[in-house]
Amino acid sequence: MCLGIPMRVKKIKGEFAEVEIGTLIRTVNIQMLPQVKIGDYVIVHAGFAIQRVNPERAEETLRLIDEIHRRISE
Amino acid sequence: MKYIDEFRNKNLIQKIAQEIKAIMPDENINIMEVCGTHTQSFFRFGLDKLLPGNLRLIAGPGCPVCVSSSGYIDCAIQFAQDKDTIMVTFGDMLRIPGSTSSLEDARARSGNVRMVYSALDSLHIAKLHPDKKVIFLAVGFEATAPTVAASILTAKKENLKNLFFFSSLKLIPPAMDSLVKDKRLNIQGFLCPGHVSAIIGTRPYEFIPRKYRTGCCIAGFEPLDILEGLYILLKQIRNKKPQVENQYIRVVARNGNPKAKKINAQVFKVSPASWRGLGEIPRSGLKIRDEYSLFDAEKMFCIRHKAQGARHKVKCKCGDVLKGLISPIDCPLFSKVCRPDNPVGPCMVSNEGTCNAYYKYK
> What CATH number does the domain containing A59 carry?
2.30.30.140
Residues B341-352 have pLDDT tens digits of: 888 888 998 888
Nearest CA in chain A to B263: A32
Distance CA B266, CA B269 (A): 8
Distance CA B138, CA B119 (A): 8
In this structure, the answer to whether residues B227 and B275 fall within a common structural domain is no
In this structure, the answer to whether residues B325 and B355 fall within a common structural domain is yes
Q: How many CB atoms lie within 10 A of CB B75?
A: 23
Q: What is the pLDDT of residue B306?
A: 62
Per the CB < 8 Å rule, is A47 touching B140?
no
> What CATH number does the domain containing B261 carry?
3.40.50.11740
Contacts made by residues B10-13, CB under 8 angstroms, sequence distance 24+: B12/A62, B12/A65, B12/A66, B12/A69, B12/B224, B13/B45, B13/B50, B13/B223, B13/B224, B13/B227
Residue B311 domain-assigned (yes or no) = no
In this structure, the answer to whether residues B151 and B92 fall within a common structural domain is yes
B147 contact residues in A (CB cutoff 8 A):
29, 45-48
Residue A50 domain-assigned (yes or no) = yes
Q: Distance, in angstroms, between A33 CA and closest chain B CA?
A: 7
Q: What is the pLDDT of residue B314?
A: 65
Residues B29-77 have pLDDT tens digits of: 999 999 999 999 989 999 999 999 999 999 999 999 889 988 899 999 9
Domain of residue B104: give its range.
Answer: 70-172+256-300
Counted domains in chain A: 1
Residue % of chain B over a pLDDT of 90: 77
Residue type present at position B215:
G
Please give the average per-residue pLDDT across B229-254, as a whole number.
97
Please give the average per-residue pLDDT across B284-290, as a whole number.
97
Q: What is the pLDDT of residue A1?
A: 59
CA nearest to B246, candidates B258, B234, B264, B232: B232
Q: Distance, in angstroms, between A27 CA and closest chain B CA?
A: 11
CA nearest to B112, candidates B100, B98, B129, B99: B129
Residue B340 domain-assigned (yes or no) = yes
Please give the average per-residue pLDDT across B67-94, as a whole number.
91
Residue % of chain A over a pLDDT of 90: 69
Nearest CA in chain A to B13: A65
In this structure, the answer to whether residues B189 and B48 fall within a common structural domain is yes
Does any CB of chain A come closer than 8 Å to the CB of residue B140?
A: yes
Counted domains in chain B: 3
Per the CB < 8 Å rule, is A31 touching B19?
no
Query: Which pLDDT band, with edges at 50, 70 and 90, does A41 fall under?
Result: very high
* DSSP category for residue B221: S
Q: What is the pLDDT of residue B27?
A: 96
Residues B92-133 have pLDDT tens digits of: 899 888 888 889 998 988 889 999 999 999 999 999 999 999
B118 contact residues in A (CB cutoff 8 A):
29, 46-48
